[in-house]
Amino acid sequence: MTTSHVCWVNMQPATDTGSRSSFSWLIATFFGVGYAWPGPGTYASAITALLWAFAAWRLPSPWTLPAVIAASVVVTLGGIPVSTTVARESGRRDPAFVVIDEVAGQLISMIGVPLNWKYLLASFILFRSFDIVKPFPLRRLERLPGGTGIMMDDVGAGLYALVLVHLWRHFVLA
């Protein structure tokens, strides 16, 4: 049995075969953000940065670093199986509506970054740039099977952004 679902923002039909794992689709699309158009990955990254800024602002200072590291690990490790499930159920290798990888990469890019709009904006811009351009070896990471490939190129983009933000922070703004 084939069912058809209509995206709530861009009204493009998304077909799948059989039943869907609702939990996996909910998480993989970051609670539906993956259906936003245009640029669902950019929306997911921006919302992640804003949510992290709000959460970090509310946390005691000594807890922000362990919290963002823990969130990055949980989202990355949890994103692999849900991305695998959604890719399989949608029949697409790397569906654009799967944005949990952007959430993970954006969180990684903000590890140890001061809670200041300049650093958060720099993390956002650098992460999105690396995610879109995919410098070596990020494109190769996409070839990993299933959700691992979906997630790892964004993890790599997050790490690239993280390094550059910290270099900028220590050498340019010092």
Q: What is the pLDDT of residue 11?
A: 32
3-state helix, strand, coil split of the chain in percent (to 5) is: 65, 5, 25
Cis peptide before 38 (omega within 30 of 0): yes
Enumerate residues 6+ apart whose C-beta is below 8 A from 59: 67
- Going from the C-alpha of 64 to that of each of 139, 152, 170, the distances in angstroms are 31, 24, 19
Per-residue confidence in pLDDT tens, the chain, 174 aa: 344 443 333 333 344 455 689 999 999 999 999 999 999 999 999 999 999 999 999 999 999 999 999 999 999 999 999 999 999 999 999 999 999 999 999 999 999 999 999 999 999 999 999 999 999 999 999 999 999 999 999 999 999 999 999 999 888 765
Q: What is the pLDDT of residue 52?
A: 97
For 4, the 3-state DSSP assignment is strand
Please answer whether residues 76 and 126 qualify as being in contact, where contact means their C-beta atoms are separated by less than 8 angstroms: no
157 by Cβ neighbours in 10 Å (0-12 / 13-18 / 19+) ranks as: buried
The residue type found at 42 is: T
Q: What is the pLDDT of residue 174?
A: 58
Q: What is the pLDDT of residue 20?
A: 82
Enumerate residues 6+ apart whose C-beta is below 8 A from 7: 13, 14, 35, 37, 97
Q: In degrees, to the nearest 5, what angle opens at C-alpha 31 toward C-alphas 51 and 78? A: 85
Q: What is the pLDDT of residue 8?
A: 35
Axis-axis angle for helices 100-109, 117-133 (nearest 10):
130
Q: What is the pLDDT of residue 146?
A: 95
Q: What is the pLDDT of residue 18?
A: 58
